[in-house]
């Protein structure tokens, strides 16, 4: 997998939860806060997003909103409401077969493990709003169109198609945001780190072989740079020094192995570059605030 794929995989746990809603007349709902990332897709009509801070944002058909940090917010038919005065959204679908409904929405949340969220995801703003502009982000637009078609009609296989489309939506909206951010701030932050030939290559080495005894000197040598210049460039784009990022990636990878597999703690420690179970357990507890065994038990609970 590439680094961008890994970044998404570290945060997403299980399948997204979503509801389909259709509204006519005066309406409004409050969402969050929740331990996940919220999203809204305007399939038809328009509405207003009442964000955690700042002015209301008009949303039109085809617009996508992503709230990566689960902040409380609202949706309404008009902008002159506060989040506090809106009733909480219901968990179940509220999409009666009403072809005359003014606004059709798909709203939901991706379940996240915030302790393992990739540093890239932590740098995202409270609200990502991607407008349905002609000619922009064709893959995202295609996913929105497919989602809208399945929501508008009860089609065979919709139970399988909708969750898959919503998973694709996450990938495409983050790609689209990266494209727009790279235009606003070229050569800066994670937008540049994913594409910078030197840093992207170093990240791939670390992600593919976390058990390798990497050093700044070796990574710099593979990039054909001096140790100092490489470390400075890596830190500027990634937001932390190379060895700090390596440690985070090893422990995050270990957490996923503990959560999703049944290998022994010693085997997990070896796979992510620790010479002993004790060294891994000590570093793991320092990073996540819980011992590996307890983390695994908690992850297996329903």
Last residue of a domain, one of 132, 156, 184: 184
pLDDT score at 269: 96
Whether residue 84 lies inside any domain: the answer is yes
pLDDT score at 206: 95
Nearest CA to 252 out of 111, 113, 110, 70 is that of 113
Name 76's bridge partners. Answer: 28, 48
- List the strands of the sheet with 103-111, edge to edge: 17-23, 103-111, 36-44, 64-67, 128-130
Q: How does the average pLDDT of the chain come out, rounded?
A: 86
How large a percentage of the chain has pLDDT more than 90?
45
- Identify the weakest region by mean pLDDT among 28-42, 109-123, 186-200: 109-123
Backbone torsions φ then ψ of 278, nearest 5 degrees: -65, -45
Do residues 111 and 206 share a domain?
no
Do residues 45 and 151 share a domain?
yes
Whether residue 190 lies inside any domain: the answer is no
Confidence of residue 179 (pLDDT cuts 50, 70, 90): confident
| Residues 164-187: b if buried by 16+ CB within 10 A, e if exposed | ebbbbbbebbbebbbebbbeeeee
3-state secondary structure of 160: helix
pLDDT score at 254: 93
What CATH number did the domain enclosing 273 receive?
A: 1.10.10.60
d(CA 246, CA 110): 26
d(CA 250, CA 271): 9
Do residues 169 and 215 share a domain?
no
Do residues 95 and 7 share a domain?
yes
pLDDT score at 135: 78
Do residues 105 and 209 share a domain?
no
Do residues 158 and 258 share a domain?
no
Tens of pLDDT, residue by residue over 72-94, are: 999 999 999 999 999 998 765 55
CB atoms within 10 A of CB 1: 11
pLDDT score at 4: 85
Do residues 177 and 243 share a domain?
no
Whether residue 189 lies inside any domain: the answer is no
Tens of pLDDT, residue by residue over 194-235, are: 889 999 999 999 999 999 999 999 999 998 999 999 999 999
pLDDT score at 89: 85
Do residues 295 and 259 share a domain?
yes
Mean pLDDT of 295-301: 82
Do residues 222 and 146 share a domain?
no
Tens of pLDDT, residue by residue over 84-136, are: 999 998 765 554 555 566 898 988 888 776 667 788 888 889 999 998 777 78
pLDDT at 247 over 90: yes
Mean pLDDT of 137-150: 85
Do residues 82 and 11 share a domain?
yes
Last residue of a domain, one of 152, 184, 216: 184
Last residue of a domain, one of 184, 205, 240: 184
Range of the domain at 62: 3-184
Whether residue 214 lies inside any domain: the answer is yes
Whether residue 119 lies inside any domain: the answer is yes
Mean pLDDT of 62-79: 92
d(CA 28, CA 76): 4
Whether residue 266 lies inside any domain: the answer is yes
Whether residue 191 lies inside any domain: the answer is no
pLDDT score at 63: 92
Whether residue 64 lies inside any domain: the answer is yes
Q: How many domains, the chain?
A: 2
What CATH number did the domain enclosing 54 receive?
A: 2.60.120.10
pLDDT score at 111: 77
Do residues 110 and 180 share a domain?
yes
Do residues 91 and 236 share a domain?
no
């Amino acid at each position: 997998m590439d680094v961008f794929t890994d970044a998404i995989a570290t945060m997403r746990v299980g399948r997204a939860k979503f509801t389909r809603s259709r509204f006519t007349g005066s309406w409004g709902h409050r969402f969050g806060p929740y331990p996940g990332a919220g999203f809204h897709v305007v399939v038809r009509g328009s509405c207003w997003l009442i964000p955690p801070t700042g002015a209301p944002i008009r949303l039109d058909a085809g617009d996508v909103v992503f709230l990566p940090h689960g902040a409380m917010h609202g949706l309404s038919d008009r902008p002159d409401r506060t989040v506090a005065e809106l009733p909480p959204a219901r968990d179940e679908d509220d999409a009666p077969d009403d072809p005359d409904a003014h606004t059709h929405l798909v709203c939901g949340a991706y379940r996240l493990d915030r302790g393992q969220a990739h540093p890239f995801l932590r740098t995202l703003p409270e609200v990502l709003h991607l407008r349905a502009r002609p000619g922009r982000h064709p893959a995202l637009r295609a996913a929105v169109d497919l989602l809208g078609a399945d929501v508008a009609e009860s089609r065979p296989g919709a139970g399988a198609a909708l969750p898959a489309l919503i998973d694709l939506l996450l990938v495409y909206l983050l790609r689209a945001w990266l494209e727009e951010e790279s235009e606003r701030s070229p050569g800066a932050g994670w937008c540049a780190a994913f594409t910078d030939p030197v840093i992207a290559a170093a990240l791939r080495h670390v992600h593919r072989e976390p058990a390798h005894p990497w050093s700044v000197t070796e990574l710099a040598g593979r990039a054909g740079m001096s140790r100092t210049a490489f470390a400075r460039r890596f830190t500027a784009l990634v937001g932390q020094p190379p060895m700090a990022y390596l440690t985070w990636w090893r422990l995050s990878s270990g957490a996923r192995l503990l959560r999703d597999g049944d290998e022994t703690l010693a085997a997990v420690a070896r796979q992510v570059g620790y010479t002993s179970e004790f060294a891994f357990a000590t570093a793991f507890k320092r990073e996540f605030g819980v011992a590996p065994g307890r983390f695994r038990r908690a992850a297996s609970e329903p």
